[in-house]
Amino acid sequence: MRSSVRIQGIIGAIQLLPVLTLQTRFIPMSKAEILEQLPKLSSVELREICDRIWQLEEEQLLSGRANSSDEEKALLDSELDDYSRNREAGSSWGEVKSRLNQ
C-alpha cells in the first residue's frame, strides 16, 4: 500500500507542474532588416524570393493595382505609339523564342 501512495503522490506532483507550451511567434522584420539578411541567403533562396516578387508584380499589374511611375507610363505609351505606326515591325513570340534558344 505504501508504494501505491508514493506513486499517487508522484502523479499528483506531476499534475501540479506547469505545462510548457511551445508557441511560434513571428516577429515582423523591417525592410532594412530584410535587405540586411539577403546577402546571407543561398542562390536558391534568392531565386525563390525573386520569383515571388515577380509573381506579386504580375498579380498587381493584371489586377490594375500596380502603381506605375510616370517614366514607366511614358515608356509604355511610346512603345504603343511605335506599334500603332507600324504593326509589322515587331517579332512574333515564336521568332523571339527561337532567337532565345539559339
65 within domain boundaries = yes
> What's the rounded mean pLDDT across residues 50-69?
87
Residue 92 lies in a domain: no
- The band of 14, judged by pLDDT with boundaries at 50, 70 and 90, is low
- Quote the domain boundaries for residue 77: 42-87
Residues 6+ apart with CB under 8 A from 66: 57, 60
Q: Which of 15-19, 33-37, 72-76 has the lowest mean pLDDT?
A: 15-19
pLDDT at 16 over 60: no
Query: CA 10, CA 3: separation in Å to the nearest integer?
Result: 11
**Residue 72 maps to a domain:** yes
Domain count, the chain: 1
Q: Give the residue carrying C-alpha cell 525563390.
A: 48
pLDDT-derived band at 1 (thresholds 50, 70, 90) equals very low
Residue 80: is its pLDDT beyond 60?
yes
93 within domain boundaries: no
**Cβ atoms of residues 57 and 49 within 8 Å:** no
Residue 30 in any domain: the answer is no
Instruction: Find out whether 30 and 24 touch, Cβ atoms under 8 Å.
Output: no
Residue 11 has pLDDT above 80, yes or no: no
Residue 66 located in a structural domain: yes
- 35 within domain boundaries: no
Residue 15 lies inside a defined structural domain of this protein: no
